[in-house]
Structure 1
Amino acid sequence: MKKRVLAVLLALTMIMTGTAMANTLADIVQRGELRVAVQSGAAPYAFVDKNGDHTGSMVDFAKDMADRMGVKLKILDFDWDGLIPALLSGKADILAADMTPTLKRHLKITFCDPWYYVQPCVFTTNDATFLKPEDVNKPDVTVGVLLGSTGETIAKQYLPNAQIKTYKGGGRMIVQALLAGHVDAGVNDDLAVLTVLPDFPPKSVRLLDRRLGQGKDPLAFAVRHESVNLWQWINLYFAFARSDGSYDKNIKYWMESTDWKKDH
């Protein structure tokens, strides 16, 4: 009898807990605040501008989401390796970073539909002799990557003979390490590299013509597994944003030009 009662209580607890967890969207509206975790060092996705304000493509999308929800936006800044823990702990409702959905990551968090696609690349100094990725895949070559990034995974997969050196922070860190002579080449998504190059001496860094991997990698917002209604809402949001032109406006400004550099 006791076992039966305990089983019923456990079932009720699981149902109540699941129901509470599933109401993430209702909690945000009731709270009046959408909390979004970003990594502010990854222009044009998310960064702190010259006025000290959080901005970037993903931040603008998050602002638009909050506006359409009728709530305030709270941006929470974390290092790359702190983004997923921040989401899982409940500090943030949404993870907004230039993160690629992978099977391993999906064991912990749920990714929304991709909102953009990028392609991994190898970059090096302009005077280096590397012409193709195979030239970098040697034991005496050190390749810089961002810790925990897809670039790190791809570098280990396609450049197994090279020495991989990891850095914490945004893509700028690898370019700085390259120009300082700490690494011979770097691996990151092509947009992240091209975006920061204007901040360094002209023609000091170049991308190898051939990209790494089999194709372009998707980028996606993420939520906790139990936040099903928020996951559905974000997917619906991007459908509306694409239909009313706000998506194209964001992409053209942040991803397809460098006009934002003058404003931020």
Structure 2
Amino acid sequence: MKLSKFLPAILLSCAGFLGAAATAHAGTLDDILKRGELRVAVQTQGPPFSMMDKKGERTGSSVELAKLMAQEMGVKIVFLDLDWDGLLPALISGKADLLAADMTPTLARATKVAFTKPWIFIGPVVATKEGSKFVSAAACKAPGAKIAVLFGSTGEKLAKTLFPNGEIKSYKGGGTLLLDAVKNGQADCLLNDNTAVIGQAAGYPKGTFKVMPELLAKESLAYATRYDSMDLLTWVNLFIDQTTLDGRLQKNLDYWVNSTKWKDEH
């Protein structure tokens, strides 16, 4: 008699639990599959990771890996072209599911978004205009030297430590802004990731810039999701593992990052 008395309440409680469990299992990955498209925030111009090629098509190392993700998911891919300072807001607001750029996972950024495991390790370098008096990274430490960095980048923070007597000039945007600043005499030296500098410098006549070979720090690059998208984060981490094991990730890096073959073809 006692069991029958409480049975309706027990069943109701179980139903509520099962309903909550079903809701918990639905996430960003499920939304992507139902929607049939993966929305990815990318930098407007940031070769060799993201750029528009000669045919007006979006491509680059992180872009092509994102396309491969969509292919593995069986969905279409939609790119949201943004300047550097618009990437995180697009992800946080829900406009994008994933952020694919040459972004370093820092503790400060990780308070806002969740980063995947690194898919490449890079480092900042100094570059100057060929023929200038700034012939080394040490020369750029001269008092009053104008150092160009990207606004909001890790290089902006690092420059203040590396060049305490310099004039740090932050440029908002991406692409070749820093190279143009050095080329046009607005800055004496630039500080940016080696892959970005080498990839972007390939678009200028040979001998325009002198890129210093030494890495001034070691950084990783990672994709990012929201903290309410842990299912997608887990999937992307597995994707990085799988493409590392089958060689597809290294093939991508050898083409886009470790060579300039893409310059002639794109």
TM-score when normalising by structure 2: 0.88
**Which deviates more from structure 2 when the two are superposed, residues 180-189 or residues 251-260?**
251-260
SS at match of 1:61: helix
**Which deviates more from structure 2 when the two are superposed, residues 201-210 or residues 73-82?**
201-210
SS at match of 1:121: strand
Q: Which residue of 2 aligns with 1:85?
A: 89
Equivalent residues in 2 for 1:53-64 (5 A)? 53-64=57-68
- Equivalent pairs counted in the alignment come to 249
What CA distance in whole angstroms lies between the structure 1 residues aligned with 2:113 and 2:54? 33
Q: Which residue of 2 aligns with 1:110?
A: 114
Q: Report if the CA contact (8 A) 1:144-1:183 is conserved.
A: yes
SS at match of 1:193: helix
What CA distance in whole angstroms lies between the structure 1 residues aligned with 2:144 and 2:25? 51
Q: Which residue of 2 aligns with 1:176?
A: 180
Q: Report if the CA contact (8 A) 2:202-2:260 is conserved.
A: no
Share of identical aligned residues, percent? 46
1:195 is the counterpart of 2:199: yes
2:219 to 217, 220, 240: 217
Q: Which residue of 2 aligns with 1:186?
A: 190
The alpha carbon displacement at 1:244 in A equals: 1.9
Please tell me the residue identity of whatever aligns with 1:241: T
TM-score when normalising by structure 1: 0.88
Please tell me the residue identity of whatever aligns with 1:172: T
List runs of 5+ in structure 1 lacking aligned partners. 1-11
Change (3 A) 1:22 1:147: farther
Please tell me the residue identity of whatever aligns with 1:254: W
Change (3 A) 1:139 1:22: farther
Q: Report if the CA contact (8 A) 2:104-2:222 is conserved.
A: yes
Residues 94-133 of structure 1: CA distance to partner in whole angstroms, max 9, x if unpaired?
A: 0001000101000000100000011101111122223443
Q: Which residue of 2 aligns with 1:5?
A: none
Provide the aligned C-alpha RMSD in A: 2.1
1:204 is the counterpart of 2:208: yes
Please tell me the residue identity of whatever aligns with 1:239: D
1:232 to 234, 237, 243: 234
Q: Report if the CA contact (8 A) 2:134-2:188 is conserved.
A: no
List runs of 5+ in structure 2 lacking aligned partners. 1-15
Change (3 A) 1:78 1:192: same
What CA distance in whole angstroms lies between the structure 2 residues aligned with 1:261 and 1:134? 31
2:31 to 15, 27, 30: 27
What CA distance in whole angstroms lies between the structure 2 residues aligned with 1:258 and 1:99? 21
Please tell me the residue identity of whatever aligns with 1:223: T
Equivalent residues in 2 for 1:139-150 (5 A)? 139-150=143-154
Q: Which residue of 2 aligns with 1:246?
A: 248
Moved over 4 A (4+): 19-22
The alpha carbon displacement at 1:154 in A equals: 1.1
What CA distance in whole angstroms lies between the structure 1 residues aligned with 2:259 and 2:215? 21
Please tell me the residue identity of whatever aligns with 1:40: T
Q: Report if the CA contact (8 A) 2:148-2:171 is conserved.
A: yes
Residues 118-170 of structure 1: CA distance to partner in whole angstroms, max 9, x if unpaired?
A: 11011111222234433222332111111111111111121122111111232
